[in-house]
């Protein structure tokens, strides 16, 4: 890969030299070396590397500490963590600190080169300053998520973000549960999303206990950075319950936003208006997966969906918008909407 710049951080000069030599000769990279975290930050500011390769165990600030600093100052730069300690605890610590790759010493040279070049290529595809998000969309029934944020989820998927859908009931009161399960799977496949489909009783979902635990289980597994769920300003009791339970279960997630359902009340007060001009057709395709509902639900009609998206452009501009009530929002995501052309 031409023009590849790598920062290698290791307190052992011999290891640092070895990694530098391998990356220069096999990847054609320009490699800068640092031997501790403060020096690494200083050289990162000067060199603006495409990838950082760092050891964990170093005098003073560790590689995990450095990783946190890199994330704060250079959010789009991937970080590969390496260590001689083959330990699950080390791997978990690195991944929780948002390492992009974890390798153990002695390093396999081919594996090192492959990982570094892959991370650099992925970062260039994403564009400067943006890390991929892990998105979780939570709904009470099949098609709730697709109605509320189908366009936004399609935009996330197109940007390389990981998308997961959690549907808490199979919607038996609104149709055949097996058919609705099949339709949910088809929509998730079209979106390229992972689907968790639970079996709480339709119309009897509560805002505590089992509901919170089910959401927490998925949150622990998925580790989302962004969560979308129902607004609490909704006539449907399941929607209100899921909204309240999600806010509790995702209390550690940086960004949580609430979407509009057809049963939302006039108290739904969005503060972010996300343009989905390029993804409205994909939203139509997602909703078409729910064939058992389309004939009997006016709000799934193409003209209804288009009119709703058009209405919100009075606040967000463009040709189609999905509105969100923000519970809390990371600064990075607020900026990334614009970089992804999700928002005007």
CATH number reported for the structural domain that contains residue 47 in this entry: 3.40.50.2300
Angle at 43 between CA 334 and CA 53, to 5 degrees: 75
**Do 330 and 189 sit in the same domain of this protein?**
yes
What DSSP element (H or E) covers 267?
A: none
Buried b (16+ CB within 10 A) or exposed e, 70-94: bbeebbbbbbbbbbeeeeeebbebb
pLDDT at 68: 77
**Do 220 and 143 sit in the same domain of this protein?**
yes
Cα separation of 115 and 102, whole Å? 9
Helix (H) and strand (E) counts for the chain?
Answer: 14, 12
pLDDT at 71: 77
- Summarised one tens digit per residue, pLDDT across range 221-234 is 998 999 999 999 99
**Do 96 and 210 sit in the same domain of this protein?**
no
Burial zone of 171 (CB within 10 Å; 0-12 exposed, 13-18 middle, 19+ buried) = buried
**Do 149 and 243 sit in the same domain of this protein?**
yes
**Do 114 and 147 sit in the same domain of this protein?**
no
Cα separation of 282 and 29, whole Å? 40
Out of 78, 102, 126, pick the residue that ends a domain: 126
**Do 151 and 172 sit in the same domain of this protein?**
yes
Report yes or no on 332 lying in a domain: yes
pLDDT at 85: 61
Report yes or no on 288 lying in a domain: yes
Collect the ranges in the chain with pLDDT lower than 50: 88, 91-92, 95-97, 342-344
Out of 126, 158, 176, pick the residue that ends a domain: 126
For the chain, how many structural domains are there in total?
2
**Do 238 and 168 sit in the same domain of this protein?**
yes
**Do 49 and 186 sit in the same domain of this protein?**
no
**Do 167 and 262 sit in the same domain of this protein?**
yes
Report yes or no on 344 lying in a domain: no
Structural domain boundaries, residue 255: 134-339
Single pTM value for the model = 0.66
- Summarised one tens digit per residue, pLDDT across range 109-122 is 999 999 999 988 88
Out of 126, 147, 176, pick the residue that ends a domain: 126
Q: At what angle do helices 280-288 and 177-191 cross, to 10 degrees?
A: 150
Coil, helix or strand at residue 320? coil
pLDDT at 3: 79
Contact 129, 76 (CB under 8 A): yes
Contact 141, 174 (CB under 8 A): yes
CB neighbourhood size of 97 (10 A): 19
**Do 218 and 146 sit in the same domain of this protein?**
yes
Cα separation of 339 and 264, whole Å? 29
Contact 198, 139 (CB under 8 A): no
Q: Length of the chain, please?
A: 344
β partners of residue 323 = 273
> Domain of 299: which CATH number?
3.40.50.10320
């Amino acid at each position: 890969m031409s023009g590849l710049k790598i920062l290698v951080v290791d307190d052992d000069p011999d290891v640092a030299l070895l990694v530098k030599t391998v990356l220069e000769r096999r990847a054609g990279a320009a490699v800068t070396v640092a031997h501790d975290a403060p020096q690494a930050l200083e050289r990162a500011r000067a060199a603006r590397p495409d990838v950082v390769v760092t050891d964990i165990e170093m005098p003073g600030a560790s590689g995990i500490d450095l990783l946190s600093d890199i994330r704060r100052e250079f959010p789009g730069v991937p970080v590969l963590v390496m260590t001689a300690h083959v330990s699950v605890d080390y791997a978990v610590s690195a991944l929780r600190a948002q390492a992009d790759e974890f390798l153990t010493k002695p390093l396999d040279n081919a594996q090192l080169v492959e990982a570094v070049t892959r991370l650099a290529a992925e970062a260039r595809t994403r564009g400067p300053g943006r890390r991929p998000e892990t998105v979780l969309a939570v709904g009470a029934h099949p098609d709730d998520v697709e109605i509320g944020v189908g366009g936004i989820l399609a935009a996330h998927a197109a940007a390389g973000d990981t998308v997961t859908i959690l549907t808490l009931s199979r919607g038996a009161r609104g149709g055949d549960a097996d058919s609705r399960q099949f339709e949910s799977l088809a929509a998730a496949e079209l979106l390229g999303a992972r689907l968790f489909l639970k079996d709480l009783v339709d119309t009897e979902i509560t805002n505590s206990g089992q509901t919170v635990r089910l959401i927490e289980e998925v949150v622990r597994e998925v580790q989302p950075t962004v969560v979308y769920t129902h607004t609490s300003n909704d006539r449907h009791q399941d929607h209100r319950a899921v909204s309240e339970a999600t806010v509790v279960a995702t209390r550690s997630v940086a960004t949580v936003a609430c979407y509009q359902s057809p049963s939302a009340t006039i108290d739904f007060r969005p503060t972010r208006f996300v343009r989905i001009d390029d993804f409205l057709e994909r939203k139509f395709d997602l909703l078409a997966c729910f064939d058992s509902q389309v004939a009997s639900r006016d709000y799934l009609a193409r003209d209804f969906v288009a009119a709703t998206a058009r209405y919100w452009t009075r606040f967000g501009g463009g040709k189609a918008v999905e509105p969100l009530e923000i519970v809390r929002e990371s600064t990075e995501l607020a900026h990334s909407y614009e970089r992804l052309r999700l928002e005007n």
